[in-house]
Amino acid sequence: MSPSAAVSCGEVTSSVAPCLGYAMGSAASPSAACCSGVRSLNSRASSAADRQATCNCLKSMTGRLGGGVSMANAANIPGKCGVSVGVPISPTVDCTKIN
């Protein structure tokens, strides 16, 4: 992990793992554990380097899951959890442009 980014991919994965049911369409709404993880991750990703690292981890994770992820559901998670992430949730987002 680079000294500029305080958030690791392991932290990102464990924070959003409870969201997979909703992101993959098997749950009607994000769980309390999902929202808790998203809020926690959002508060830890306080610098541009953290947000870029988080973005790259999420893109990588989405790629590994393939077509099973509903991008509409994934994009709705922050709003449904009352979190403003300021980053488009998309497999094509350019993480280097996040500040």
Closest CA to 24 of 56, 81, 64, 84: 64
Q: Identify the segments of the chain with pLDDT beneath 70.
A: 1-4
Q: Amino acid identity of 66?
A: G
Q: What's 29's domain CATH number?
A: 1.10.110.10
Q: 51 in a domain, yes or no?
A: yes
The tokens of 39 are what?
A: 């809020």
For 41-62, write each residue's pLDDT tens digit. Answer: 999 998 999 999 999 999 888 8
The count of structural domains within the chain is 1
DSSP for residue 12: H
Q: Is 34 in contact with 74 (CB distance < 8 Å)? A: no
Rounded to whole angstroms, how far apart are CA atoms 47 and 61?
A: 21
Please state the pTM of the whole predicted model: 0.86
In angstroms, the CA 71 to CA 43 distance is: 23
What range defines the domain where residue 39 resides? 9-86
